[in-house]
Chains A and B, each alone.
Chain A
Amino acid sequence: MADVRIRGLHKRFGGFHAVRGIDLDIADGDFTVLVGPSGCGKSTLLRTIAGLEDISEGEIFIGDEIVNDMRPRDRDVAMVFQDYALYPHMTVEKNIGFGLRARKMARSEIDDRVNRASAMLGIAQLYGRFPRQLSGGQRQRVAIGRAIVREPRIFLFDEPLSNLDAQLRDEMRWEIKRLHREISTTMIYVTHDQIEAMTLADRIVLMREGRIEQVGTPAELFERPISRFVAGFLGSPKMSFLPGRVVGSEGVAAIAIDGAAFPLPLPTAHAARVSTAGARVLLGLRPEHIVRAQGASPGEGMIRLDARVELLQPTGSRTFATFRIGSASALAELQAHDVSNPGETIQLDANLNRASLFDAETELALLS
């Protein structure tokens, strides 16, 4: 087991600057998920840690060693690939033991480790089969088995579940989580799927255009996003953003949305930052923070909105309603019986205590 430290890492492919100055500490035994949209540099960052890409600038430490110029085989990391990368000309048993044979380990030790890893993943019965004879889930298990058997210092996962169907993806997600709990080795996992990131990670590293946008626990990123990008990326369905203006000043901030002013429940420390009257802001509300209005007046920290429902997405017990306020549309997660027809105008209460507020120009959080 080992920690990973990255300092000032840059990676350029010719004129394309894929990774732009990454500084990151990954603690020993942590499950860290690198997440971000396609092309944000997360896979490149993972491959530089594996040694599969040379770095253009910076330093990577695994444990106490600088591994910049170390070959992949000497870094003592194991990697699971998106397309499994099983060797098609070898049986499952040979695939799992390949890394140990490449390191010239004793036969008895190889057998022992392969058997243990296979038992852990329930794939011992597949030993004699070739990869082409396996289902997607089985292939992924074999690929993970090939990594476990090495007992490396660090596990690297490069979008390992993206080729699986939804149900298998769920199963394998829990399998990986269980595995981490059992072996407690440092794991770095790349995905573009925010649900995978939220469910698996001890810490999430959200990347954008080659840079780190925010690092933190899933709860921190979800509850206190530092930018509109982070807020919009995490959460399903996504956060809605209502454009407004700050009215009032000196700590009595209120936000005007569609002509009506609503007081903002601001912690004092944040008040000054949003007290410039007239400043354009974005109010970020997650669907679960908007409910059907109850009672004569909204509760403490709630605002009441008249909303015309445009679209309904029933999911059984809950219904997602897309509604319009002025020029913006937003999404509310309602009880199934709260609304029945698109086109209805209903009253909704939005909980500003849980809302995020962003500067409309910089899109950075003013209050989160």
Chain B
Amino acid sequence: MSQKAIAGPAGTPPKRRRRRRRPGIGRFVFLGAFLIFVLGPLYWMFITSIKPSDDYLAVPPVWFPSHPTLVHYIAALFAYRGLQGIANSLIVSISATALSAFVGTLMAYSFARFETGGKHLSFWVLSQRFLPPIAIVLPVFLIYRTVGLHDTRFGLVIAYTVFTLPVTVWMMFAYFKGVPRSMEDAALVDGCTRWEAFWRVAVPLAAPGIIAAAVFAFIACWTEFFFALVLTSRNAFTLPTVFRAFLGFQGAQYGEASALAVVSLAPSIALGVLAQRHLVRGLTLGAVRG
């Protein structure tokens, strides 16, 4: 390269050509291994769900089934009542998530703005998660059986709301602490009541936090097994409990289990993708400060 080509305009220092670093081969190896680690099981699960039963444990393994089938999906959803499990799970998870987000938002706002219960009540709420579920599930079972909530979706909604509330409250608490108080003050002076200031200003600003907390609550409800196992039987059973049926003394129904697992993943993935957009929005950051 000639000197003229790299010299800058008169009076300015010559520009340095930026050397582009070539990505090392190690990076590709690492990324490849990581992808296999993450996606491999998912691929295997999907392939198993459309394999004929003879191919499950074939040696060498069948990577691409020559005759894919949907028979396991039909069996899992209908014969094993997976569809009802999904319906129950959706109703219970959505209801509990909505309740948890609503009550949790109000509680967290109250803790963050008014220091309700002093310094300790908010931590006490979180401490409820320290209890191992096994410690409370039997008393809850007895109470539910007595009051007629056993094997009802409503009973499960209450249990899941209580179960998810502490984490929801703590996530929202941090968000509301981060919303500048002056905005609600401005709303109060502008003509809002306290409730309007909360609803029209604080909630929209904390929306990313509410969505994030709701996603966590939903995933916790959607995947919860232990309470569902003890508190439900033939009517209100949820998706995770259906998987029990695939494991028996005679062997395992790998195809049906994989088919139901594929179906059960869909809402979590959809939620994850939707929520990611909101989680990174950071609505208040950089928006209000000079």
For window 77-112 of A, CB contacts with B under 8 Å fall at 77-79, 81-89, 98-100, 102-103
For window 40-96 of A, CB contacts with B under 8 Å fall at 47, 50-52, 71-73, 75, 77-79, 81-89
Q: Is A141 an interface residue (CB 8 A)?
A: no
For window 317-340 of A, CB contacts with B under 8 Å fall at none
Task: Point out the residues of chain A lying under 8 angstroms from B204, CB to CB.
Answer: 87, 89
Q: Which of A77, A100, A164 makes the CB contact (< 8 A) with B189?
A: A77
Q: Please report the C-alpha to C-alpha distance between residue A75 and residue B204 in the assembled complex, in whole angstroms.
A: 26
Interface-located stretch among B119-127, B270-278, B281-289: B281-289
Interface centre among A47, A52, A130 (most CB of B within 10 A): A52
Task: Point out the residues of chain B lying under 8 angstroms from A136, CB to CB.
Answer: 290
Q: Is A163 an interface residue (CB 8 A)?
A: yes
Q: Please report the C-alpha to C-alpha distance between residue A132 and residue B243 in the assembled complex, in whole angstroms.
A: 49
Whether A81 and B186, one on each chain, are in contact in the complex, defined by CB atoms closer than 8 angstroms, is yes
Whether A98 and B187, one on each chain, are in contact in the complex, defined by CB atoms closer than 8 angstroms, is yes
Whether B205 and A89, one on each chain, are in contact in the complex, defined by CB atoms closer than 8 angstroms, is yes
Whether A102 and B191, one on each chain, are in contact in the complex, defined by CB atoms closer than 8 angstroms, is yes
Q: Please report the C-alpha to C-alpha distance between residue A103 and residue B186 in the assembled complex, in whole angstroms.
A: 14
Whether A83 and B182, one on each chain, are in contact in the complex, defined by CB atoms closer than 8 angstroms, is yes
Q: Please report the C-alpha to C-alpha distance between residue A87 and residue B184 in the assembled complex, in whole angstroms.
A: 9
Q: Is chain B's interface secondary structure helix, strand, loop, or mixed overall?
A: helix
Whether B193 and A84, one on each chain, are in contact in the complex, defined by CB atoms closer than 8 angstroms, is no
- Please judge, given known A-B contacts A89-B204, A102-B196, whether A83 and B191 are in contact too, CB under 8 Å: no
Q: Please report the C-alpha to C-alpha distance between residue A102 and residue B196 in the assembled complex, in whole angstroms.
A: 9
For window 183-217 of A, CB contacts with B under 8 Å fall at none
Q: Please report the C-alpha to C-alpha distance between residue A87 and residue B284 in the assembled complex, in whole angstroms.
A: 9
Q: Please report the C-alpha to C-alpha distance between residue A188 and residue B190 in the assembled complex, in whole angstroms.
A: 17
Whether A99 and B290, one on each chain, are in contact in the complex, defined by CB atoms closer than 8 angstroms, is no
Q: Which of A77, A84, A88 makes the CB contact (< 8 A) with B290?
A: A84
Q: Which of B190, B193, B287 makes the CB contact (< 8 A) with A131?
A: B287
Given contacts A85-B288, A100-B191, could you give 7 more A-B pairs where the C-beta distance is less than 8 Å? A73-B188, A81-B185, A83-B289, A85-B182, A85-B185, A102-B191, A102-B196
B contact set with A: CB distance below 8 Å: 180, 182-183, 185-193, 196, 200-201, 204-205, 283-284, 286-290
A contact set with B: CB distance below 8 Å: 47, 50-52, 71-73, 75, 77-79, 81-89, 98-100, 102-103, 130-132, 136, 139, 146, 150, 156, 163-164
Going nearest first, the 8 A-B pairs with the smallest beta carbon separation are: A88-B287, A99-B190, A102-B191, A132-B287, A85-B186, A136-B290, A85-B182, A163-B290
